[in-house]
DNA sequence: TTAGACCCTTGATTTGAATCAAGAAATTAC
DNA sequence: GTAATTTCTTGATTCAAATCAAGGGTCTAA
């Protein structure tokens, strides 16, 4: 049982001594999920926080027309969670689904709270990592209503092109906030340049 | 020097013993800013985190066309900060501006890090408060590209109508992601219903 | 190997918000 | 109190993306 992907990720953001990491690993559980399975559905209460060792998850919303909108995709070394629901035992409006077969590290509420309150670098890691998500969301929100679909796709190519290889296009359209038809036309247009 | 607004806010989210609060207050500085003043500009490094005792701040982005998009407005008992820049000493792309004369509590980097690492309920408050912002941003991102301008304005009326009293309409338009003309027409249409 | 489901592309049409333009109203400054 | 600036409204026009519709491609499972 090694945890080097997790340790690498923690140390990418904060100083994380070995002794603290040894306190953290027993709090984790390694799980497998199949492509298509849900880890969280709207109306559920989130019971775990997930670290991705392998695979891809998406977090998405279903709007009033029944359409799905992807908030983000997370791959290896990313975390996926809904902490508001997790910390308050309140139902969430968000969904989390595996888009590939995944290997995950999961941590439950009791252990997570233990880690945050008893392992200081773990708390600081979470604050920092959350803030990065926060910043990304703010930027995307600022762009969402301004950029044209073509600009959004170009930005996606520049910043997240690795996702293009592993996800179907209709999922990317639901992430960029356009119809699959529009995405298809943009790709045709840009490809021919 | 009382801090009851801040204490109320902290206790709204976590259990915050008096002894911890007494450790926190000396870390704060009370400041006044005039309407229109900037607390953070794109390209700056964020040096302080602000708690609003009175007034209204906005956080906004300037996009490639030079247009401003408001990410959110914060009023009394809200926090306004850009922690990615603050924690990494990196330049930010976000702006923070006072939309009214404000009275704020400010905390600098050294003191904030001290508080997070030495006052456990302060760390937990920040994690929880951040997550609420995070959740709000995710929901708004999911809605931004789906809802019509009229739906956005109706949602705003339901959820944030208190802001309507104190902000000019063009700021609200820049928050909802539409032109002032469109907002004006929607208001006319809805008002006559 | 083939049937079925799912995904992607392409075309025709519609529509609603942005843009352009101008004037009215409200606020600010002197 | 008046001028100047800013903000808000209304109208006419344009245009780009959604919608509607259908056909082709790809993958999967029996």
**Neighboring chain A residues of B130 at a CB cutoff of 8 Å:** 127, 130-131, 134
Q: Residue B182 contacts by C-beta under 8 Å, 6 or more apart in sequence? A: B149, B173
Contact A177 B146 (CB under 8 A): yes
B150 in contact with nucleic chain C (CB within 7 A): yes
Substitution target from B138, B180, B183 for chain A, most A beta carbons within 10 A:
B138
Give this prediction's pTM: 0.93
Could you list the beta-strand ranges (E) of chain B.
29-33, 38-40, 48-54, 57-62, 68-74, 79-80, 95-98, 102-108
Whether any strand C atom is under 7 angstroms from the Cβ of B149: the reply reads yes
> Residues B126-169: pLDDT tens digits?
999 999 999 999 999 998 888 899 999 999 999 999 999 899 99
Contact A159/B at CB under 8 A: no
- The answer, for B82 touching chain A at a CB cutoff of 8 Å, is yes
A61 closest CB neighbour out of B60, B63, B142: B142
Instruction: Answer yes or no: is pLDDT of A59 > 50.
Output: yes
- The DSSP symbol for A27 reads G
> What distance in Å separates the CA atoms of residue A132 and residue A39, rounded to the nearest whole number?
23
pLDDT digits (tens, 9 = 90+) for A119-164: 989 988 999 999 999 999 999 999 888 889 999 999 999 999 999 9
Nearest to A94 by CA among A105, A108, A104, A80: A80
**Strand D–CB B170 distance below 7 A:** yes
Residues of B in Cβ contact (< 8 Å) with A146: 63, 65, 67, 69, 177
Rounded Cα distance between A83 and B109, Å, is 25
Q: Cα–Cα distance between A158 and A173 in angstroms, integer?
A: 16
Residue whose token pair is 């840009």:
A190
**N-to-C CA span, chain A:** 49
SS percent in chain B: helix, strand, coil, step 5: 50, 20, 30
- Judging contacts by C-beta atoms under 8 Å, the chain B residues touching residue A145 are 69, 144-145, 177-178
The tens place of each residue's pLDDT in chain B, 193 residues long, gives 789 999 999 999 999 999 999 999 999 999 999 999 999 999 999 999 999 999 999 999 988 778 899 999 999 999 999 999 999 999 999 999 999 999 999 999 999 999 988 898 998 899 999 999 999 999 999 988 888 999 999 999 999 999 998 999 999 999 999 999 999 999 998 874 3
Q: Give me the residues paired with residue B51 across strands.
A: B79, B105
Measured in degrees and rounded to the nearest 5, phi and psi for residue A27 equal -85, -5
Least confident segment among A22-36, A74-88, B61-75, B171-185 = B61-75
Pick from B50, B68, B131, B109: which is nearest to A134 by CA? B131
């Amino acid at each position: 049982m090694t945890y080097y992907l997790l340790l690498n990720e923690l140390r990418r953001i904060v100083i994380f001594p070995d002794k603290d990491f040894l306190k953290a690993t027993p709090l984790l559980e390694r799980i497998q999920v199949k492509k298509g399975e849900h880890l969280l559905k709207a109306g559920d209460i989130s019971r775990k926080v997930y670290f991705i060792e392998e695979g891809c998850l998406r977090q998405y919303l279903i709007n009033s027309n029944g359409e799905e909108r992807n908030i983000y995709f997370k791959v290896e070394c990313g975390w996926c969670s809904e902490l508001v629901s997790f910390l308050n035992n309140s139902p969430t409006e968000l969904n989390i689904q595996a888009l590939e077969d995944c290997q995950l590290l999961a941590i439950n509420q009791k252990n997570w709270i233990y880690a945050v309150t008893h392992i200081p670098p773990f708390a600081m890691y979470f604050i920092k990592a959350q803030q990065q998500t926060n910043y990304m969301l703010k930027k995307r929100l600022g762009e969402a209503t301004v950029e044209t679909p073509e600009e959004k796709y170009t930005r996606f190519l520049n910043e997240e092109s690795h996702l293009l290889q592993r996800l179907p296009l209709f999922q990317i359209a639901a992430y960029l906030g356009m119809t699959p038809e529009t995405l298809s036309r943009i790709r045709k247009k840009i490809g021919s340049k």
